[in-house]
Structures are given as C-alpha cells and as structure tokens.
Amino acid sequence: MATSRDDMQNEKLTFRRFKDGDHSWRSMTDQIFKGDHSHKCPTYVHRTPPCQGSCPSGEDIRGWLDIVRGIEKPPAGVTMEEYAFRRSTNANPFPSIMGRVCPAPCEDGCNRNQVEDKVGINSVEQFIGDSALEAGHKFVSGKDTGKKIAVIGGGPAGLAAAYQLRRLGHGVTLFDNHKLLGGMMRYGIPGYRTPRDVLDGEIKRIIDMGVETRMGVKVGVDVTLESVEKEFDAILWALGAQAGRQLPIPNADKASNCLTGVDFLEAFNDGRLKLVSERVVVVGGGDTSIDVASVARRLGHITNINEKDRPENIVLGHTAHDVATSATREGAKVTLLSRSPIEKMNAAQHEVQDALREGVTIRGCVTPVEVIMGADGRAKALRVQELKEDGKTPIEGSEFDIEADLIVSAIGQGGDMKGLEGFANKRGLIDADQNYQIPGKKGHFVAGDIIRPHLLTTAIGQASVAVESIDHYLRHEDMGKRPKVDKHHFDLLEKLRETGLAPQEFKAEEAGDMRGTSSAKWAIHNYEDRSKQEIIPSNKLFLGHFEFTPRHKRSESVPSSDDVLGHFQERMKGLSKEETVAEAERCMSCGMCFECDNCVIFCPQDAIFRVKKTEATMGRYVDTDYAKCVGCHICADVCPTGYIDMALGE
C-alpha cells in the first residue's frame, strides 16, 4: 500500500530526503575534473571491432585472432587450431577458401591501418582452415527437430545455409543443377585460386553432417515447385546469379564469338574449355573480368584452329576440345577494358597487379560502343570510345577499334529464373525483406547473389540470417528486429559457462536488499555489452601503445608474362604456424581487453586489480575497487583497446 503525503511529512525518516534541486549539480564546474578526480568510475564495455563490422559474414574475427595469439585459452583437451576453427566457423564454414579469395573488406576496416598497416586477417584465416582440413575436424549436427528444409542451389549461400540448418537439427536437402556442389566457388573462380582439393574438403565436411543432395536437378524445370512445397516445411532459394549479361551495344547479340564471363569461366572450370583465340578482349573491371583475362593468358591459342574448336563453340556446348591440340599452344593477346581508371577498378588491386604481371593489357576510361562484324558473321573488332577520368563522360571523336577474335562481357550477372517466373522481380532476381523472407511467399526464404550479385562472404552472411528466420518460422515465433550490428558476437556469458565460471542462479527471495550488490555472484558486474549497437572507432583506442610491426605477408606464385602459359598451380602460399601467430599478435583487439596490464600499472590509487586466476577468463581479466577509485580517467586513457569507459555513476 502506498504511503500518503501527510504520513511522509510526519514520519521520522531513517535516510535524508532529497530536496528540490538536489537531483542536479549546483554548478557546472562540479561536473568536470577537479585536479585528479571526477565523479565517474571505470566500466568495461565490449564493442564490435571494425574488422568484424566490415565483414559481410559477420565473423568474430577479433575472437579467433585472440585465440591464435594465445590470449583466449581453449577448453581442456582442445588445441588452439581447433578452437580457432570452431570460433571462425560459427559464421563461415569455408575458412580455407575464404582465406584465399575473399577481397577482405575486414582488412580495409582494420584500425591497425591507423598505425602502419592492416592485420593480414585472410592469411590467418587460411591457416585456420588448412589446419582444420589437415586435422580432419568435423562439424556436429544439432538434435533432430523433425523439420525438413529444401535449399535450392549448392553454392556458397546454399551450402552455408545447409550447415547452419543442420547445426540447429533441421533436415536439409540440397538441389543443384550441376554435377558437383560449389556454385561460384567451383564454376566461377579458377582452380588456381580455389584449389579443388581444399574446396572439396570444406564441402564434404558440410555434407557429412547429414545433408541430402539431389544433383542435376533444376527446380521449376526438372521437378515442379508444387512438389517441393508439398515435401518440405520451408524452402530457401540460393540460386546464385548464373546468367551473364551481354554487352548492351549493337551486334553483340549477333556475333557468335561474343560471350559472357559467366559462361566462359564455367566452361573452363568444367574442364571443357582448353584453348582461346589469338586476340581476346574482355570488358568489365571487376574480379570476374580479371579471372577471365588471367585464364585466357594461361590457356593460350593455336594458330590453325578448326571451326569446331573455336572457343565460342566450346563455351556454348556445341563441341569439346581435343586435349592433344593443347600441345601447340601459343600465348594469347588479352586486353581488358574498364570504364573506370585502372586504380579505381572494382577488382581487388592486387588482382589487377597480378594480371598486369601475367601479361594482360589493361585500358581504363574506355567504353564499348559497337561490335564490328566480319563477312563470316563473327566479330572482328570492338569499337570503343574514350571517357574522361570520371569514367562516365564520353570524349567526342575518340572512337577507335580493337581487333578481336573473342569478346567476353564481364559486366554483371543475373538469375536464371526459368520455371520460377513468379518469384522474379524486374531485374530477374528475387526480392527479400530484412529477415530474408520472400515478400508474399509464406515459407519461402532467399539468400545470396540471386538477391543482388556481390561477394561470396556476403552470400554466406545472408544465409546465416536467413536460417535464423527459418528457425523462427518453423517454431511459429515472431521474427523480431535484427540488431543494429548484425554479426556473430563474442558472448561473455557463454565463455564463463565454458570455463566453469558461470554466475550463480539468481533467486529473488534469497537476494534480500539488492543495494550494493558488487560482490554478489549471480551477475556479471562492471561489464556492458554494446557489441550489437556499436562499432569501436580508432579514436577510442590508445594508439600510442602499439609499436611499428611489419606485416607478415603470404608469398604468391604469380607467373610472369613469359611463364603464364599453362601455369595452373595455386598462387597463394600460406604462412607457417609461427608466422601466423606473429601476425595475429598485431591485432589490437579493439573493443576487448587483451591483458596488457596498462590499467593496473598506471592506476595511481591501486584501484584496478587483476581478477584471481581461478576466476579470470577472456573479458574478465581486471576489476575495479570502487572504494579506492577517484575517477582520474588514467585507466581509460592508457587502455589500448578502448575497453574501459569512464561512465559508471552517470
């Protein structure tokens, strides 16, 4: 029952009652520093590092870097390599492949760039993945739920979704219209970038979780959509973007030797295409165009070619190359054209430099305007026009012809929606909401390039979110709102459980007076998790702590223009274990304590102390005695990782 105002005025209180105005500071100067103290005390705040914030897969990059460097300890009986592998693959089941081919937006976001150079995140990821394959680590499926999901498409999105679904215990059947799984990782990227033994190993690990496959099947053509809907509880569309875009210029659709980059690379990766023409012109500027040009340089041409052996006939499936003819190969002249200046091409700059070394001629600031036809009905040249440095404005009177025996368009991709026209939008792709549901199609979800062609890591990240949505759908739960920073975050509570330090069960009836509960064992004190709301910028760090440390770079076997013909060996050479650990040690662990002891050493009041070894774990290395703390801010100022905020008490 509430106490009346009269009773309050007459009651003798056991504590001082606040007067009007007591809730605010009487003077603004009282709020700021007075010599060496303030009203604030430190609290430990976990934020998302920019590497993870920049990763479309949402990997806990800082987490597995800290594991590799030895700061976060694995459970008993688990090696560093396996523990890092488990942490990495919470988000992405392809560490070996992605460590080789991902363009690494995480490295662009790395705060270490403000010191000297980014951390080589990809190189550490490759080590984690290769070590796991060598050790034969397997994935574990969840307890069977009795639900069955059809995943349409066996590329990076479909395979990643199958993996995440099996972890939750849902049954999965993968439909794919190819002979082998892998999608763009197999048919869109050359084997010297994605070694087939590595790719096969990472795919097998997923299939071994109990994933059923139906290969050579195109839903909507070979089987009806209705039959799939009847058999499964939900459907995830991960079709990829399997249709290349032809050049939108006169005669491009008439010349038989004008191909798309998607068809070209699939024919090569399928083992059908073994030769190209003498003069190859590639139009693009992205990674696909680089791959086409580099493959063409490796394949070479023969001088006297039969009509049936022309590359266009092979790519279009009219015939097959006789392997014996490859003995007479000569180097092909390959020219790559881009609307953008070379230094602004969409392709990764190291890939551009590799292509130049391999003998590809790259011309920037040009755009195709017409395919010039020969008397035989084939293209004999590509007419182009020069552009100003903005890559958009044509220069009048600047047209010229580039002789060509083969023209390859690598300007974009779309979906093959034959038999599924009811799902296609105006761009030939599939729409998705924020939870990766298909609007107006209950029980249908979508992920990957069929939404919008982008990076492999983007498709993998979308698959993870889509699987969460499917799980909510199957449980008849509300989808809820996705977090602002939608990633796979480090979980301190889970870490405490793993190390046997989980908080005690909270029993309200036994808690009693809960004022001043800093010593209670049923809560994680002095800690705030903002990882789902904030990405920590470099200005939150104490950059002066970090000494100049050169990056440990992987070596690459990039052939010269004289050696490129027939060179199909893997280019990327991984780091040794020692080099990998040394590179991981360059990570600044932004937003998470890395146990440097600065706060303990520099605290003039001895208020900050190390937690007892028996009670310490990642994220719980130090604590504060607030009876000693005077709010001097020194601990926050010298914290290299930005883990300490002077906020407690506000």
Confirm whether 345 is domain-assigned: yes
Report d(CA 71, CA 64) in Å as an integer.
10
Confirm whether 299 is domain-assigned: yes
Per the model's pLDDT, the better-predicted residue between 170 and 327 turns out to be: 170
Nearest Cα residue to 357 out of 180, 557, 611: 557
Judgement on whether residues 291 and 217 belong to the same structural domain of the protein: no
Judgement on whether residues 225 and 345 belong to the same structural domain of the protein: no
Judgement on whether residues 258 and 309 belong to the same structural domain of the protein: yes
Judgement on whether residues 370 and 430 belong to the same structural domain of the protein: no
Report the mean per-residue pLDDT for the chain: 91
Q: Which of 474, 492, 510 is the last residue of a domain?
A: 474
pLDDT digits (tens, 9 = 90+) for 217-256: 999 999 999 999 999 999 999 999 989 999 999 999 999 9
Nearest Cα residue to 254 out of 409, 378, 403: 378
Query: How confident is the model at residue 522, as a pLDDT?
Result: 82
Nearest Cα residue to 203 out of 168, 156, 236, 270: 156
Residue 237 belongs to what domain range?
A: 148-242+415-474
pTM of the model: 0.90
Confirm whether 342 is domain-assigned: yes
Judgement on whether residues 395 and 275 belong to the same structural domain of the protein: yes
Judgement on whether residues 249 and 226 belong to the same structural domain of the protein: no
**Cβ neighbour number for residue 342 with a 10 Å cutoff:** 17
Confirm whether 315 is domain-assigned: yes
Average pLDDT for residues 115-123, to the nearest whole number?
96
Report d(CA 32, CA 28) in Å as an integer.
7
Confirm whether 577 is domain-assigned: no
Average pLDDT for residues 125-154, to the nearest whole number?
98
Inter-CA distances, 612 with 304, 609, 622, 623, 629, Å: 78, 9, 9, 10, 19
pLDDT digits (tens, 9 = 90+) for 8-64: 455 554 444 455 655 565 565 555 545 467 778 899 999 999 999 999 999 999 999
Judgement on whether residues 332 and 459 belong to the same structural domain of the protein: no
CATH of the domain at 231: 3.50.50.60
Average pLDDT for residues 99-127, to the nearest whole number?
95
Confirm whether 493 is domain-assigned: no
Judgement on whether residues 279 and 186 belong to the same structural domain of the protein: no
Judgement on whether residues 255 and 203 belong to the same structural domain of the protein: no
Query: How confident is the model at residue 523, as a pLDDT?
Result: 78
Judgement on whether residues 358 and 466 belong to the same structural domain of the protein: no
Q: Which of 474, 491, 508 is the last residue of a domain?
A: 474
Confirm whether 469 is domain-assigned: yes
End-to-end CA distance of the chain: 31
Single-letter amino acid code for the residue at 296: A
Q: What are the phi and psi torsion angles at 285 (to 5°)?
A: 135, -10
Q: Which two tokens stand for residue 588?
A: 């600044």
Query: How confident is the model at residue 8, as a pLDDT?
Result: 46
Strands (E), 156-308: 171-176, 212-215, 234-237, 243-244, 258-260, 279-284
Domain count, the chain: 2
C-alpha angle with apex 479: 475 to 484, nearest 5 degrees?
140
Judgement on whether residues 430 and 312 belong to the same structural domain of the protein: no
Judgement on whether residues 298 and 384 belong to the same structural domain of the protein: yes
Confirm whether 260 is domain-assigned: yes
